[in-house]
Chains A and B, each alone.
Chain A
């Protein structure tokens, strides 16, 4: 458990995955949409301007056709009419056709020399001009077609002063019963062109141009100026079709088409700037949608992942507390069904562990108590036997004073041993216990050894496990006190949070092997039991754990020291 890899959280994983998929989809679809619609809009602009061009050309075509029909009708109605014999009928026919259409200014018939045969009265100078006029020569030169020309001149009719568009065609007529060739001329007011141009929707600044077959500008709906000149030049360079250009700085599509029945081409210049603006607007809207939907999916993903990960997170917190030893930590039971089941299972598991641990602890407590008692109880019978033996020995020699001392010491010794059942006693009591023991042993061994006790000030009141010094001293007496007078020094100090007692006895000292052997006995590896040191060591370990220790050291031919290390403050919770 303590080696668990950190990794990323479930919530982050879900969030990242959902967000990545959602935003990738949104971004891709937005881009595709944008690319497609921008392209569509671009081609839409071109298609639309082409359509508008066609519409305009069709309007003009309709107009041209109606003029041609008028001319054809006049021709057809004139069949059999003679310019000499039927002058009156012909004049009426021509006049009627000029009057019936508002934009027809006049209708004339000229002979091959340009002399007027039929038509309204003419301006004074006009008749002389006729043979030199382009419409006249063209009609005779190419008789099978109608000729449309804009020459920028006023109508030849005396009563009309408008600028005229001339439609001419070579025709046959009867002159005194003989067929002759002449030229039919229909003059139209230019207003008709303007009227048709105005009916078009070419956008702000859009306009149309009429070019002749050589690319000369015949008419434009744009006001004269730079724009008109530039678009005329652009249109003239094209034979047919459409091109994207910017005449006069306008974002435009120029379409050029032929005008049926004429040698003219109509160029339309559509302003597509608005469509470009629409494209940028579309871009903006798409971006807003993109950002919005990404945010929306992020929110949704975050909510979903939180709903999934929150119970897991809570469960994880609970497990961490449990891992830290807090078996009473509450296990949350919430979230989705699976999570609730999992939490519930964990809760029961923890409860079971808690029960097991509690019973285990109780068992251990009981066991340790029993062991401690057993160990403490090992001391007494042996010592009591020896002491009583000594008292008997003193009594036999009549040393009643010593008997009293000895019995008093023995009584105090046992009082402290029992200590009203307490396991821990103040150090001063433990020292007093040792003094009583030394008193008894001193009597027994007739003062063959001296002893000294030195304690660091202030440690008298500290509590230690009882009866831990006496076995060490007993050991020192048996093994250290020889024929010569010896000395046992008992020192106590507090060092690094531990109480340290050292018991040093003079003597031959002991070998390293002996020390090793003693450690082994202490740790219960040997079979020999009942040794005091082992008893003390086992009790220290049993109660204080790793914080306690017992160390043996020796200076050969001089002294042996046994040191006890005891934690200064034993955990009260542990008996």
Chain B
């Protein structure tokens, strides 16, 4: 089963990221030579490993760190209390650094203070602490993506599908009213990512001059099951008016597709042996995350597209950063603004 994953933002021009990568790899090379005998101990604290995105992310981090860092992973099972306990007991082992994916980002201030007290540098990831919390400890960093970027990219995927011209929508505007009739599957109500993605999606349409009619926003709590359950009534209510389904994540999108198939959507109407946009009962559904299942669904022709949260690039950036932080001569403390490392989302659709 696919669980919700909570992402942080995306965006930012990547020229700076490349410069940083060069600087970091130089530092990493230096560190690798001098620290050969015993790789420095680094804790990897995950909010919940049952989240497939996090599990894969963790594996990528461990893979990247092989040889350079001795990574010990902890699964907090979605409990900040357990994570607090795990971190505190791990600190007694005098780690060189920790990579921390907080369960509750608001708790980060307490963890940051504790890490500062212990003098252990920290790389936050996946869930972004408040800026004032990152300010507490000069050797704390955040590696992540900007959530609004995923919403923007999702909108861009949709715009391309509708012809790229706000004034003249293509045949995807089924009723030809010049507006896109949209269903939104939202993650958790009040969840920052859900809010930011939804908001960025709608704002991007607005900014590009597209007229959008939101038929409904349904909260499906990031879950496949809830996406499956909640799309049914919506599809019945709004029937043939729906021109696009935008989901805050892949899991809900895949759940929705599973249900829509049962309701008569996604049939091989033109009998060409494959499922694609040419079939009349096909409906464009967009996800975010770039899960493997989502990519498979795209290849099979069901899911139209997703926005890939580039965890591999993040994992690389995190490991390089950690290696530089634990080097015998660590980098000088940077101002707060330079302690954010943004990794871009990548749009992913059938053509890819």
Interface string of B99-124 (1 = CB under 8 A from A): 00001101101110110010000000
Interface string of A114-143 (1 = CB under 8 A from B): 000000000000000000000000000010
Q: Is the CB of B217 within 8 A of A240?
A: no
Q: Whole-angstrom distance from the CB of A182 to the nearest CB of chain B? A: 15
Interface flag for A257 (CB, 8 Å)? yes
Interface string of A179-195 (1 = CB under 8 A from B): 00000000000000000
Interface flag for B195 (CB, 8 Å)? yes
Q: Is the CB of B104 within 8 A of A261?
A: yes
Q: Is the CB of B106 within 8 A of A262?
A: yes
Q: Is the CB of B88 within 8 A of A240?
A: yes
Q: Is the CB of B109 within 8 A of A213?
A: yes
Q: Is the CB of B114 within 8 A of A241?
A: yes
Report the Cα distance A415→B271, complex, angstroms. 170
Interface flag for A374 (CB, 8 Å)? no
Q: Whole-angstrom distance from the CB of A279 to the nearest CB of chain B? A: 24
Residues of A contacting B192 in the complex (Cβ-Cβ under 8 angstroms): 144-145
Nearest chain A residue, comparing its CB with the CB of B83: A258
Residues of B contacting A256 in the complex (Cβ-Cβ under 8 angstroms): 110
Interface string of A29-65 (1 = CB under 8 A from B): 0000000000000000000001000100110000000
Q: Whole-angstrom distance from the CB of B33 to the nearest CB of chain A? A: 36
- Segment at the interface with B among A67-75, A282-290, A477-485, A546-554: A67-75
Residues of A contacting B107 in the complex (Cβ-Cβ under 8 angstroms): 258, 260
Nearest chain A residue, comparing its CB with the CB of B111: A240
Report the Cα distance A57→B81, complex, angstroms. 8
Contact A260 B190, CB 8 Å, known A144-B195, A239-B117, A240-B113: no
Q: Is the CB of A263 within 8 A of B109?
A: yes
Q: Is the CB of A258 within 8 A of B84?
A: yes
A75 touches which one: B84, B117, B190 (CB < 8 A)?
B190
A240 touches which one: B106, B114, B189, B190 (CB < 8 A)?
B114
Q: Is the CB of B130 within 8 A of A142?
A: yes
Q: Is the CB of A72 within 8 A of B189?
A: yes
Interface centre among A142, A213, A258, by most chain B C-beta atoms within 10 angstroms, is: A258
Q: Is the CB of A239 within 8 A of B114?
A: yes
Interface flag for B219 (CB, 8 Å)? yes
Residues of B contacting A50 in the complex (Cβ-Cβ under 8 angstroms): 85
Interface string of A247-287 (1 = CB under 8 A from B): 00000000011101111010000000000000000000000
Q: Whole-angstrom distance from the CB of B84 to the nearest CB of chain A? A: 6
Interface flag for B170 (CB, 8 Å)? no
Report the Cα distance A205→B295, complex, angstroms. 59
Interface flag for B25 (CB, 8 Å)? no
Contact A75 B104, CB 8 Å, known A144-B195, A258-B84: no
Contact A261 B113, CB 8 Å, known A68-B190, A241-B88: no
Residues of A contacting B217 in the complex (Cβ-Cβ under 8 angstroms): 79
Residues of A contacting B297 in the complex (Cβ-Cβ under 8 angstroms): none
Interface flag for A385 (CB, 8 Å)? no
Interface flag for B70 (CB, 8 Å)? no
Q: Is the CB of B219 within 8 A of A76?
A: yes
Residues of A contacting B81 in the complex (Cβ-Cβ under 8 angstroms): 54, 57-58, 257
Interface flag for B80 (CB, 8 Å)? yes
Report the Cα distance A144→B6, complex, angstroms. 15
Residues of B contacting A71 in the complex (Cβ-Cβ under 8 angstroms): 190
Q: Is the CB of B106 within 8 A of A145?
A: yes
Interface string of B182-217 (1 = CB under 8 A from A): 000000111010010000000000000000000001
Interface size on B, residues (CB 8 A): 23
Report the Cα distance A142→B219, complex, angstroms. 23
Interface string of A140-167 (1 = CB under 8 A from B): 0010111000000000000000000000
Q: Is the CB of A261 within 8 A of B130?
A: no
Interface size on A, residues (CB 8 A): 28
Contact A260 B104, CB 8 Å, known A72-B190, A76-B219, A239-B117: yes
Interface string of A63-99 (1 = CB under 8 A from B): 0000010011101100100000000000000000000
Q: Whole-angstrom distance from the CB of A380 to the nearest CB of chain B? A: 120
Report the Cα distance A482→B48, complex, angstroms. 145
Q: Whole-angstrom distance from the CB of B77 to the nearest CB of chain A? A: 13
Residues of B contacting A239 in the complex (Cβ-Cβ under 8 angstroms): 110, 113-114, 117
Residues of B contacting A79 in the complex (Cβ-Cβ under 8 angstroms): 217
Report the Cα distance A317→B42, complex, angstroms. 80
Interface centre among A68, A79, A144, by most chain B C-beta atoms within 10 angstroms, is: A144
Q: Whole-angstrom distance from the CB of A196 to the nearest CB of chain B? A: 15
Chain B, 42-100, CB within 8 A of any chain A CB: 80-81, 84-85, 88
Interface centre among B80, B81, B217, by most chain A C-beta atoms within 10 angstroms, is: B81
Residues of A contacting B84 in the complex (Cβ-Cβ under 8 angstroms): 240-241, 257-258
Q: Is the CB of B104 within 8 A of A258?
A: yes
Residues of A contacting B113 in the complex (Cβ-Cβ under 8 angstroms): 239-240
Q: Is the CB of A260 within 8 A of B106?
A: yes
Residues of A contacting B109 in the complex (Cβ-Cβ under 8 angstroms): 213, 263
Report the Cα distance A240→B117, complex, angstroms. 11
Residues of B contacting A263 in the complex (Cβ-Cβ under 8 angstroms): 106, 109
Residues of A contacting B117 in the complex (Cβ-Cβ under 8 angstroms): 239
Interface string of A375-411 (1 = CB under 8 A from B): 0000000000000000000000000000000000000
Q: Whole-angstrom distance from the CB of B6 to the nearest CB of chain A? A: 13
Interface string of B258-289 (1 = CB under 8 A from A): 00000000000000000000000000000000
Report the Cα distance A256→B81, complex, angstroms. 10
A260 touches which one: B80, B188, B195, B219 (CB < 8 A)?
B80
Q: Whole-angstrom distance from the CB of A52 to the nearest CB of chain B? A: 12
Nearest chain A residue, comparing its CB with the CB of B196: A144
Nearest chain A residue, comparing its CB with the CB of B108: A258
Report the Cα distance A146→B192, complex, angstroms. 11
Chain B, 113-144, CB within 8 A of any chain A CB: 113-114, 117, 130
Q: Whole-angstrom distance from the CB of B201 to the nearest CB of chain A? A: 15
Nearest chain A residue, comparing its CB with the CB of B131: A142
Q: Whole-angstrom distance from the CB of B187 to the nearest CB of chain A? A: 12
Report the Cα distance A146→B189, complex, angstroms. 13
Q: Whole-angstrom distance from the CB of B135 to the nearest CB of chain A? A: 12
Report the Cα distance A260→B110, complex, angstroms. 12
Report the Cα distance A50→B88, complex, angstroms. 12
Q: Is the CB of A261 within 8 A of B106?
A: yes
Report the Cα distance A562→B9, complex, angstroms. 143
Report the Cα distance A253→B181, complex, angstroms. 60
Pairs A–B under 8 Å by Cβ, sample size 15:
A54-B81, A54-B85, A72-B188, A72-B189, A72-B190, A75-B190, A169-B190, A240-B84, A257-B80, A258-B80, A258-B104, A258-B110, A262-B106, A263-B109, A265-B110
Contacts A145-B130, A258-B106 known; list 13 others, CB within 8 Å.
A50-B85, A68-B190, A72-B190, A75-B189, A76-B189, A79-B217, A213-B110, A239-B113, A241-B84, A258-B110, A260-B80, A260-B103, A262-B106
Interface pairs A-B: 8 shortest CB-CB: A258-B107, A239-B113, A72-B189, A72-B190, A260-B104, A239-B114, A240-B110, A241-B88
Taking beta carbons and an 8 Å cutoff, which residues of A are in contact with B?
50, 54, 57-58, 68, 71-73, 75-76, 79, 142, 144-146, 169, 213, 239-241, 256-258, 260-263, 265
